[in-house]
């Protein structure tokens, strides 16, 4: 079976992708130093797939350590690169951490892929590469505007690194992943305090936080709050497997939006969680947060045409699974 190196494979999206890779006959090899997740996700993967998973506890910016991984694993068909810091607000506060890690890990990976003749990489990009788009829903040919955060800028730079490299690549520009696997054995197990909306909502629901702060209600949107495209993490994971299949058979360089195409405001997301789980969530309105864009959601026609991918899971299903995961995790 073809080996796929999955950096950050114990993380939120990575763990779900490892499950989907295994289901379709690949042999995933996880590289993750657990800096922003826990071993619970690795144990959860093994319970879901019914066997042990190969895991290297290695920092992806450590070239010597990564060189040993490649040497030990031998022939590798491709890599899926998740390993990166991902909190927009933290990137504004500590930009150098994001530049060093997000770009440094990709640099090491590309150098070692070249050395070991690994030709295919799927890159975990983000809709933040578009900055504040001129039109919605945003398409893949929209120009990159000024990034609203250092996190977004690292994704722009990394996509540039891929374009200049000799490898075949797919950049998957995610929108906002939420939810959990139906087993509730893997999920968002970030080592630090939750920074994304839905995990914060679930922490309020379970009593870890008193309330949510909604950052700004004076945007030019129907209810004044930011609008995002919330995609179930299982749907997102499946897009990586389809992208790898596609890239192996169609060498080249590609970028795809991966979202539902539906824009949901922050307040509507809170209401959707409340409705799905019959709960009430406390929130207050705060000032705008640095690094946030007003609204963005995907045009998914290109990814559907090329990969045959489209979102299947509903917002209600995602909100229910997010709550079940919160009750059982860590």
What are the residue numbers of the active site? 151
Task: Let me know: does 109 contact 121? Beta carbons within 8 Å.
Answer: yes
SS (H, E, C) 113-172: HHHCCCCEEEEEEEHHHHCCCCCCCECCCCCCCCCCCHHHHHHHHHHHHHHHCCCEEEEE
Residue 250: C-alpha distances to residues 76, 125, 243, 306 (Å): 17, 20, 10, 10
State phi, psi for 143 to the nearest 5 degrees.
-70, 150
Exposed (0-12), middle (13-18) or buried (19+): which is 126, by Cβ within 10 Å? buried
Helix axes 315-328, 197-206, angle to 10 degrees: 50
State both tokens at 160: 């540039």
Please identify which residue in the block is written with the tokens 């505007």: 145
Bridge pairing between strands 27-31 and 230-232:
unpaired
User: For the stretch 15-37, what's the b/e string if a residue is b when 16 or more beta carbons lie within 10 angstroms of its beta carbon?
Assistant: bbbbbbbbeeebebbbbbbbebb
3-class SS shares of the chain: helix, strand, coil, % to 5: 40, 20, 40
Q: How many angstroms separate the first and last alpha carbons of the chain?
A: 32
Residue 199, SS3? helix
């Amino acid at each position: 079976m073809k080996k796929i190196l999955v950096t950050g494979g114990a993380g939120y999206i990575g763990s779900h992708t490892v499950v989907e890779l295994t289901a379709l006959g690949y042999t995933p090899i996880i590289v993750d130093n657990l800096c922003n997740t826990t071993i619970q996700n690795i144990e959860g993967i093994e319970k879901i797939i019914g066997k042990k998973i190969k895991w290297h506890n290695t920092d992806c910016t450590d070239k010597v350590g990564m060189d040993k991984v490649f040497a030990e694993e031998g022939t590798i068909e491709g890599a899926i690169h998740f390993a990166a810091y991902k909190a927009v607000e933290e990137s504004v506060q500590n930009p150098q951490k994001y530049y060093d890690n997000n770009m440094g890990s990709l640099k090491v990976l590309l150098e070692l892929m070249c050395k070991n003749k690994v030709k295919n990489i799927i890159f975990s990009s983000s809709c933040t590469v578009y900055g504040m788009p001129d039109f919605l829903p945003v398409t893949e040919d929209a120009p990159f505007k000024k990034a609203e955060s250092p996190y977004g800028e690292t994704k722009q730079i990394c996509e540039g690194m891929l374009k200049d490299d000799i490898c075949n690549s797919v950049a998957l520009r995610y929108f906002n992943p939420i939810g959990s696997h139906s087993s509730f054995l893997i999920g968002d197990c970030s080592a630090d305090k939750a920074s994304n909306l839905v995990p914060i909502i679930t922490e309020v629901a379970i009593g870890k936080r008193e309330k949510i702060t909604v950052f700004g209600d004076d945007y030019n949107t129907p209810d004044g709050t930011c609008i995002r495209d919330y995609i179930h993490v299982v749907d997102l994971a499946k897009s990586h497997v389809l992208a790898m299949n596609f890239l192996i058979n169609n060498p080249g360089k590609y970028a795809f939006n991966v979202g539902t195409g539906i824009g949901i405001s922050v307040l509507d997301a809170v209401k959707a969680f409340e409705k799905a789980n019959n709960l009430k969530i406390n929130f207050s309105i705060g000032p705008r947060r640095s690094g946030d864009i007003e609204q963005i959601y995907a045009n998914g026609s290109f990814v559907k045409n090329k990969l045959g991918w489209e979102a299947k899971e509903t917002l209600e299903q995602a909100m229910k699974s997010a709550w079940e995961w919160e009750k059982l995790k860590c």
